[in-house]
Chains A and B, each alone.
Chain A
Amino acid sequence: MEASTTGTNNSVVDPNDLLVIDDVKKHFPITRGIIFQKQIGSVKAVDGVSFSVKKGETLGIVGESGCGKSTLARCIIKLLETTGGQINFDGRDITKLSRSTMRPIRREMTMIFQDPYASLNPRKRVGAIVGEPLEVHNLGSASEIKTRVQELLEVVGLNPEHYNRFPHEFSGGQRQRIGVARALAVNPKLIVCDEPVSALDVSVQAQILNLLKDLQDDFGLTYIFIAHDLNVVRHISDRVLVMYLGKVVEIATRDVLYKEPKHPYTGALLSAVPIANPELGRKREPIVLEGDVPSPVNPPSACNFHPRCPRFVEGHCDVEEPPLYSFGNGHVAACHYALERWPMDASEIRRASASRAPEPEPEQPLPA
């Protein structure tokens, strides 16, 4: 069985990979003092995240609020400077590029934001909002841009005649369509979607999810889809990455992650999702995690999930940080005591850890 590896192997560049993230860190400094600012600590929002995204696939990123998913998204498209690590986009290291050298690359990666109410300028007309990326990148004359914008509005299911309307004249779902049209305007390769449906009603949410899927089929887009709703992520993703407190805890293809999660945190998340089926739902016994997500200013030692983990083993989990153990087929999970099977109930998940506790060997990962 493969031994423990940390993250993606960056020495081999797979030509199918559109984006390769290697050990990316983003620490926000905490300072004290007004004139002489002294750094007294840092918020480790993203702390050593590695993964890759293949062309044409959708990578879902899930985690609770405050786990660093949105910061990671902003780092990927370089809205934030990273503290460490490397971002390779389409075979090029873009980590250290200056604003001007970065600009042409920005055409290839765009973003759809969470809040359709706050992410559109209320004083601009829809035509100007959707056309702005085209203007910035000098992609055509005014009339060409107008034609393109109308085309885009049509693609996302809006009436092209609404070109001259203001954002407030649209409903939440329609505004999110405007956001999608804007992200599509420059024919990007990668779209980072940061909670694109969490502000929408269920019936409208389905419209946007279907739209995103159709656009992917039509234009061969690659998505990074960030959400806290596990149902939504499962619906849209090919592979799923689970984050906890700035770190990757598990990556697997969608079906594997939802059917055979290896990390107890993933298990707890899955067991916590209510099922819209009265018979099934009531039988479900969620693995209730105690407490809240700890502060990223002062994260717990070693495995930072250990204070809440049902299979916590003292003297191991809080001392030695688990690497991303491999379970075959790209399924990795950062846990010394990975789940043997799934589903498990709250007592089973605990029992298993106790029986295996006496062996402190790190080479615990099970054969896949």
Chain B
Amino acid sequence: MALLEVKDLRTSFHTEDGIVGAVDGVSFSVEKGQTLGIVGESGSGKSVTCLTIMGLNAKRNTTSSGEAIWKGKNLLTTKPRELREIRGNDISMIFQDPMTSLNPVHTIGKQLIEAVQLHRDVSNRVARARSLELLKAVGIPYAERRIDDYPHQFSGGMRQRVMIAMALINDPDLPIADEPTTALDVTTQAQILTLMKRLQEEFGSAIIIITHDLGVVAETADDVLVMYGARVVEHASVEELFNRPQHPYTWGLIGSLPRLDIDVERLIQIPGQPPSLLRPPRGCRFHPRCSYVMEVCKTTVPELLPTQREPDHLQACHLDEETKDREAAKLLESMMAEAG
């Protein structure tokens, strides 16, 4: 049985300008020990999906529907008290911005101890020992000394490590990492990704990693969810996604990426801008930017369906599979040809 099963998740925000449908019918599941990558541009709904699962959206102007089944319980209808017990203990979150996600007026030791004591009835001394253990596990040098430092005394990479330590301190079954390396330099990013891989091997947990960086996804994820305009447009194993992408948006993402292993004179660009979720385009949300657009795309929303060859490869596009296979092969071939 899946560890977390999300079915038809919908979240909308009520703003002064109208209703923003930030997540529109997202379904996926995560198995134990698996890493799920969620990719998409800003505003595609990837972060809101996870915030909804965690029950972290502002109550005042948000409505959510659908199901997120965690160990037989629907997280969306769980009482806040019960949800608090799950959050940080079973499911935890590593936030994007380490500069603003830590409390600046408390030492990191105090913040870590708080995280332990919220879920376990242990003494300060035990909680502190546990905090120290985690700080060492994430590779903070001189952890004994640094545990009593304040967040501003840490660099960005070190703060991100503290965030990871905090997310892992109660041995969660599912840490969710929201752009864990976006604010970091490549060398620090490599440190953090290596660390996350190691910790996953050690603790055997599942991970959801949200990112806009296809490189990070290619190297860390087992399964990938591509989101566009609040919907899932493609869901496949990482090898399938990179070797046989089935959605024009995914082609655009792969083609628009300047990369070290391939030389291209001109990047493939997706024309236009990501859609406004206040007034999303009718039909397929990608159709105004899609170069394969047909009449049907403008009126009918494509369903997320398995491809004929690979039942685990889901995609939402009206194009027939033959065309898609051909176009995907053409894209990859042209990139390889230029690579020489």
Q: Which residues of A pack against B, CB within 8 Å?
A: 64-65, 171, 173-174, 201-207, 209-210, 213, 228-232, 234-236, 258, 268-282, 284, 286, 288-289, 291-293
Contacts and interface: CB of A to CB of B under 8 A. Distances in A.
A227 to B, nearest CB: 10
Contacts of A274: 189, 193, 213, 215-216, 218-219
Given A210-B267, A228-B186, A269-B186, A275 B260 contact: yes
- The prevalent SS among residues of A at the interface is helix
B215 A272 contact: no
A276 B262 CA distance: 10
| A-B interface, 3 closest residue pairs, ranked by CB to CB distance from nearest | A274-B215, A235-B258, A206-B256
B194 A286 contact: yes
Interface of B: 41-42, 141, 155-158, 185-191, 193-194, 212-219, 238-239, 242, 252-261, 264, 266-271, 273-274
B273 A173 contact: yes
B270 A206 contact: yes
Nearest to B267: A206
Nearest to A292: B155
Nearest to B265: A213
Given A228-B185, A281-B219, A276 B190 contact: no
A273 B260 CA distance: 8
A273 B215 contact: yes
B273 A209 contact: no
A209 to B, nearest CB: 6
B267 A276 contact: no
A297 to B, nearest CB: 14
A269 B187 contact: yes
B185 A278 contact: no
17 contacts: A64-B185, A64-B187, A174-B273, A202-B253, A202-B257, A206-B267, A209-B258, A231-B260, A235-B264, A235-B267, A269-B186, A272-B186, A276-B215, A276-B259, A288-B194, A289-B191, A292-B188
A278 B218 contact: yes
A270 B41 contact: no
B239 A278 contact: yes
B186 A230 contact: yes
Contact of A275 (B187, B189, B193, B259): B259
Contacts of A281: 215, 218-219
Given A274-B213, A275-B260, 13 more contacts: A173-B273, A201-B212, A202-B41, A206-B267, A210-B266, A272-B187, A272-B190, A276-B217, A276-B218, A288-B191, A288-B194, A289-B187, A293-B155
B268 A206 contact: yes
B332 to A, nearest CB: 10
Given A203-B270, A205-B256, A65 B185 contact: yes
A140 B273 CA distance: 34
Given A171-B273, A282-B219, A292-B157, A276 B186 contact: no
